[in-house]
Amino acid sequence: MSIFSEAYAREQDAQDALRHLREQFYFPQDEQGGKQLYFCGNSLGLQPQGVERILLEELADWRKWAVEGHLLARRAWKSYHELFAEPLARIVGAKASEVVAMGSLTANLHLLMVSFYRPTKQRRKIVIERGAFPSDKYAVDSQLLFHGFDPAADLVQLTPRAGEDCLRTEDILQTISERADEIALLMLSGVNYYTGQLFEMERISRHAAALGIVVGWDLAHAAGNVPIQLHDWGVDFAAWCHYKYLNAGAGATAGLFVHEKHHRREDLHRFAGWWGHDKESRFRMPDQFVPIPSAESWQLSNAPVFALAPLLASLEIFGQTSMEALREKSLRLTGYLYALLQQELAEQIRVITPSDSAARGAQLSLSLRQAGRGREVHAALLRAGVVSDWREPNVIRVAPAPLYNSFADVYGLVSRLKGILT
């Protein structure tokens, strides 16, 4: 049986142990009322069906209890953020004390760099990858400027070799080794938003740490996508959003990680707020800040209950499986997409995401060989009922998310794309 057939795809779906999870999400509909083929979970995840129930419960408790809801709501608002520690810790490979749901991604990166970017006259450079998400570039540029440095001189941007789209790990490690005496902070993306490259986070983290470099990761495209072990890898800090693979809705409250080795450091600067203050004395309203000895001490304010509630619904679904099981399905699902593209459309499309499945997550980034046609093809896909993502200057991003995408979805995507191109 040809792999480019609906029968083959349906057979693979019948053998999928996680296929039941798909039914716990809402899909956007086409003009005939059928499900669109949704491949945009790397930008905004689908809505879990439990979101409405949880939001209505919070609204009902607000209506019933008003201010007393902080203590009497079915999920007491005073400690609401604590509901997320254990499930998020499982997703990013941390201890519950090392993670907290708070803030937004770039704001969290700034708060973390206040603590962990500690430049000296000799070691003041920050390392990122060239082509990181623009917000990361803006954030590190502004941190350098805040400290009186020049981004043109003190920002090191890792660049692929000529003619290549992705970075080689050996080149990253070589740059770190050669410039270690100048580098104060390494802050890369776990998965690059444009190419879809999954970096060797453990190897890079351990190498940099051994040279005395602080290690941070932006996990926006990695959290909920690939297995991560932040604690075991000795990562100093990380931050991520929850609206992509973690399906918490547009602009959802983000998350951060701080390794426990930093929790009791008295020399660590932070921008403090009262929700990061010691819980036992917080409501005595002391005028001196006493940090909670956990990642919670980076919190500024109490939890935004209605912004966090949708994340609970998504985490309930994650709780029905494991990141290892999701990764196993993701490798098969994305591998199927890659194989179909190479077999059916190699003359029209170049996949810039690594061909090695270990070096990518759920996303494949497609570059049309015919220059200038990408935006037109992206629009045609949408008209054909396929939701993907366009990124300038020339990439269509497609991400088969293992929680809700199927092999039949992948077959449908390639079939419709082939029809558009040929």
pLDDT in tens, 149-161: 999 999 999 999 9
AA identity, residue 124: R
Judge whether 352 lies within some domain: yes
pLDDT value at residue 32: 83
pLDDT value at residue 334: 98
Judge whether 38 lies within some domain: yes
DSSP per-residue codes, 47-61: EETTHHHHHHHHHHH
| Listed residues 318, 333, 359: the one ending a domain | 318
Judge whether 417 lies within some domain: yes
CATH number at residue 366: 3.90.1150.10
Which single residue is written with the structure tokens 């997409």?
A: 337
Q: Does one domain contain both 135 and 74? A: yes
Q: Does one domain contain both 92 and 37? A: no
**Domain encompassing residue 194:** 56-318
Torsion of CA 147, 152, 155, 159, to 10 degrees: 170
| Listed residues 279, 302, 318: the one ending a domain | 318
Q: Does one domain contain both 72 and 216? A: yes
- Contact present, 207 and 149 (Cβ < 8 Å): no
| Listed residues 273, 302, 318: the one ending a domain | 318
What's the total number of domains in the chain?
2
Judge whether 397 lies within some domain: yes
Q: Does one domain contain both 74 and 193? A: yes
Q: Two tokens at 136?
A: 């990361």
Q: Does one domain contain both 270 and 336? A: no
pLDDT value at residue 422: 87
Cβ neighbors of 164 (< 8 A, separation 6 or more) are: none
Q: Does one domain contain both 20 and 169? A: no
HSE-CB for 393 with a 13 A CA cutoff: 5
Secondary structure letter of residue 188 according to DSSP: E
- Contact present, 239 and 254 (Cβ < 8 Å): yes
Judge whether 1 lies within some domain: no
Q: Does one domain contain both 366 and 285? A: no
Q: Does one domain contain both 343 and 248? A: no
CATH number at residue 83: 3.40.640.10
Residues of the chain with pLDDT under 50: none
Q: Does one domain contain both 363 and 255? A: no
Q: Does one domain contain both 294 and 343? A: no
Cα distance between residue 119 and residue 148, in whole Å: 11
Spatial CA neighbour of 365 closest among 193, 158, 164:
193
Q: Does one domain contain both 306 and 365? A: no
Q: Does one domain contain both 172 and 42? A: no
